[in-house]
Chain A
Amino acid sequence: MDIIEVKNLGVCINDHVILRSVSFVVTKGQCVGLIGKNGAGKTTLLRAMQGLSPYSGFSNMAKMNYEDRASFVAWVPQIHDIVWDVKVKKLLEFTARKFCRNAAHTKQTISASLTSTNTVQLAEKNLSSLSSGELALVNVARALCQHSDFILMDEPLANLDPRQKSTLILLMQRLARQNKGIIFTSHDMPAVETACNRVIALKDGALLFDETHRIKFTDTRNQEIFD
């Protein structure tokens, strides 16, 4: 399967509508910025379409079995706490071992993920010793080890310094060129402008617009999204 398909997706928690009737199709090679103000339902949408929370409507990947979904899409949620303090290299190894053909492939995958997220120097460090930005990049590196067709990320740019930010933006652009599909939520409009070749905006749980080309965020547009 080459597309992410979501049809009339809705989420309702305790009689409170969080997401209503969202539909779209994302293909490989697209880098989609999912924007909207806080509480617009961005994270809820990403979780529901993977079947990680209760939903109504249709989502093709929520219907897949666990193994198929894992090689179809990787999920990068925001990590707030580290309970088991393993080494960065170990963490990547756990994932890579499962999705790689052999030991050599595993090793090569790990080093490629570390290089492309610019975290090679963190390989021997423990997770608890990382800054939140470093942890966010390691989380992306872990997802890369899954060799999936699509990657979904929740606020991947949130805690990054300018240099880490440009590393991640370049990585996302490169992945899209390598025919992977990416969807990420963000409040960073300049980053979305640079990185994305498609922008989906949510407002109050519904689709506000879906532009399948690069867009510029003018004042009127920002007002439309965030007011």
Chain B
Amino acid sequence: MTIRTLPLWLCIFAGVALIVLSLCLGPYKINWSQLAYDIAKDNQTIETIVFFELRIPRTIMCILTGVALGTGGAALQTLLRNPLAEPSIIGISSSAALGAVLVMSFQLHLVSLFFMPVGAIIFSMVAASLLVFISRRSHDHVTILLVGVGISLLSGAATSFLLSISDNPYAVNEIVFWMLGSLSNVSNDDLLLAVPFALSGALLMLSTAPAQNYFVFGGEVAASSGINVKTLRAKVILGASLGVGGVTAIIGMVGFIGLLSPHIVRPFVGNEPRRTLIWSPVVAAALVLAADIAIRLLPTTNELRLGVVTTLIGAPLFLYVIFKRFGH
């Protein structure tokens, strides 16, 4: 721990505070002594239901979303040598969204809610497999980025197509709202579905951390330093699709977190790729928690959508970070 990384360590404390806040805040005011009493007596009351069925899954989902998007953004930026890279730019988020929209437009989610994450993960895996296939054949990072942009545009167009041919206005409305991203209806079942994917994805990406620093001078130098670049690339892409597919399936599209958090971390770690990857999920989780708490505190009639808030806060913050770094 050095003076320079102090703000990042403070971010952990802020994160813990945000977790506590996230558990406390909401439309229903929990009576904590009542809750403790009910837990001790094993009573099923409104206190325990709100706490265990709403607050806990919502808070965990916030953290999970941050971790998946934060690691995804940092790992992809280093790997593709591009400060603009993030899971949505290489088509993973948008194909996950396409999968979920496909399920919704055929009303399969009314049969079972499990179809939605399954659809999202299948589609993000298809996109990821295509990317891994290309990346194993090509030595060129720009190719991967271009293929990703292609996939992203294609799935975006397919989503729009599904929306425009849908004859069920209710479904269209639901899809559009879902795509804006929200944490308000996360249940424990959703969580069980997302955790294995998001966690294994994030761990897969974090497992590449020791090798990340060799990429400062590009993939060739990394390969000559003894890194199996093709395997590492496959790990990052697979990890990103598992992680991002897992959370997108449950909460919809959440923009800017993956792009923003590595850029916040970099000045504090001297641009070191390995430490950027390690700290980025911490910062991202704190950002998502903060955004979600802001949503709950703002006195709006309808709860704001998470994706909207992260982008509204994220975009100006991102511009500020970029101006500060490159503006002179």
Contact = CB atoms under 8 A, between A and B. Distances in A.
Interface of A: 47, 50, 52-53, 66-67, 69-71, 73-75, 77, 79, 83-87, 90-91, 94-95, 98, 127, 139, 142, 146
A94 B214 contact: yes
Contacts of A69: 224, 226
B5 interface: no
Interface in B168-225: 213-218, 220-221, 223-225
Given A52-B139, A84-B271, A86-B270, A67 B220 contact: no
Contacts of B213: 94
Interface string B216-251: 111011011111100000000000000000000000
Contacts of A95: 214, 225
Interface size class of B (residues with CB under 8 A): 20 to 34
Interface in B21-64: none
Interface of B: 78, 81-83, 139, 213-218, 220-221, 223-228, 266, 270-273
Most buried by B among A71, A79, A87, A98: A98
B271 A139 contact: no
Contact of B216 (A66, A74, A86, A146): A86
Which of A73, A94, A139, A142 is packed against the most chain B CB atoms within 10 Å? A94
| Pairs A-B, 7 closest by C-beta atoms | A70-B226, A75-B224, A94-B213, A67-B226, A84-B271, A83-B81, A66-B226
Contacts of B223: 50, 52, 66, 75
A142 B217 contact: yes
A101 to B, nearest CB: 16
Contact of A87 (B83, B220, B270, B273): B270
Nearest to A51: B223
Given A52-B220, A79-B217, A84-B216, A66 B271 contact: no
Question: At the interface, is chain B mostly helix, strand, loop or mixed?
Answer: loop
Contacts of B220: 47, 52, 75, 77
A69 B222 CA distance: 12
15 contacts: A52-B223, A66-B223, A70-B226, A75-B221, A75-B224, A77-B217, A77-B221, A84-B266, A84-B272, A85-B271, A94-B213, A95-B225, A98-B226, A127-B216, A142-B217
A91 B214 CA distance: 8
A83 B221 contact: no
B272 A90 contact: yes
B248 to A, nearest CB: 27
A100 to B, nearest CB: 13
B78 A66 contact: no
Given A52-B139, A77-B220, A95-B214, A70 B225 contact: yes
Contact of A94 (B78, B216, B266): B216
A142 B227 CA distance: 15
Contacts of B139: 52-53
A144 to B, nearest CB: 13
